[in-house]
């Protein structure tokens, strides 16, 4: 019990665990009120899609705002395919803006708007060799903002290569969770409970494995 309490007091552990749980809760209520969500002309129209993309963009730039729990709502309103596309557009645009801000204004500016210790922690594993695949892999396992600012600050990676690697990593992630939000709530709950337990009790080992893989890429 003491180990559990100690783990959940750690922000790095608590936030991803709660994000996964919240994802399932939002999925449940999105399905329950799907008729209401689908009947809103404002949400269904282009204005709703643009607003959703802007939220995704801002979430990347102004970390650590977690937007993953909004994906089930988007999937309920527009269907999982369009929801995944809109999410990928928002995350990709936000990551490019964050990358550009870091490259243009430097550390002093970036550290004012995000967690510099988190960025420095993951920046240490970045190596010039095979950085393309490192970024693509990191997109799938790390918060979008962290890798965007880290690559912008500490590498000379060209923005075109960065964009391609970002798309490779983000698109599968967006589709996985968009369609995953449409699974039965019971199945989601089981998966979420397992994932949350693993994160809480094995966070340090998981982080170590991720770093080891990134350093070998």
The total number of structural domains in the chain stands at 1
- Whether residue 24 contacts residue 189, with contact meaning beta carbons closer than 8 Å, is answered with yes
Phi and psi at residue 63, to the nearest 5°? -70, 160
* pLDDT score at 103: 92
pTM for this entry: 0.79
Question: What are the helix (H) ranges across 114-184?
Answer: 116-123, 131-141, 144-154, 159-180
Q: How far, in Å, CA of 214 to CA of 92, rounded?
A: 21
* Owning domain of residue 208: 2-216
Q: Which residue ranges of the chain lie beneath pLDDT 70?
A: 1-15, 36, 38-44, 63-65, 117, 127-128, 141-144, 199-217
* pLDDT score at 128: 66
* pLDDT score at 139: 76
Phi and psi at residue 48, to the nearest 5°? -65, -40
What b/e readout covers 111-125, taking b as 16+ CB neighbours within 10 angstroms? Answer: eeebbbebbeebbeb
Nearest CA among 143, 144, 147, 121 for reference residue 134: 147
What is the per-residue pLDDT across 105-155, written as a single tens digit (0 to 9) for each? 988 888 887 777 677 777 777 766 778 888 888 777 666 678 888 888 888
* pLDDT score at 137: 81
Question: What are the helix (H) ranges across the chain?
Answer: 2-8, 11-32, 34-39, 41-44, 46-61, 71-78, 80-113, 116-123, 131-141, 144-154, 159-180, 185-216
Q: How far, in Å, CA of 165 to CA of 153, rounded?
A: 17
* pLDDT score at 113: 78
Tokens of 159: 């923005």
């Amino acid at each position: 019990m003491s180990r559990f309490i100690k783990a959940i007091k750690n922000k790095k552990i608590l936030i991803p665990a709660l994000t996964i749980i919240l994802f399932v809760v939002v999925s449940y209520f999105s399905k329950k009120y799907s008729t209401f969500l689908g009947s809103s002309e404002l949400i269904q129209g282009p204005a709703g899609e643009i607003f959703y993309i802007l939220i995704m963009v801002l979430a990347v730039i102004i970390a650590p705002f977690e937007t993953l729990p909004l994906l089930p709502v988007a999937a309920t309103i527009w269907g999982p395919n369009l929801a995944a596309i809109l999410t990928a557009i928002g995350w990709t645009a936000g990551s490019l803006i964050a990358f550009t801000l870091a490259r243009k204004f430097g550390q002093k500016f970036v550290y004012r708007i995000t967690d510099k210790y988190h960025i420095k922690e993951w920046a240490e594993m970045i190596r010039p060799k095979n950085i393309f695949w490192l970024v693509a892999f990191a997109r799938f396992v790390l918060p979008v903002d962290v890798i965007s600012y880290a690559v912008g600050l500490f590498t000379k990676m060209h923005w075109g290569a960065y964009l391609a690697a970002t798309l490779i990593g983000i698109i599968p992630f967006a589709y996985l969770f968009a369609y995953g939000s449409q699974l039965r709530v019971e199945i989601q709950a089981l998966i979420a409970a397992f994932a949350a337990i693993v994160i809480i009790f094995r966070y340090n080992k998981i982080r170590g494995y991720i770093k080891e893989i990134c350093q070998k890429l």
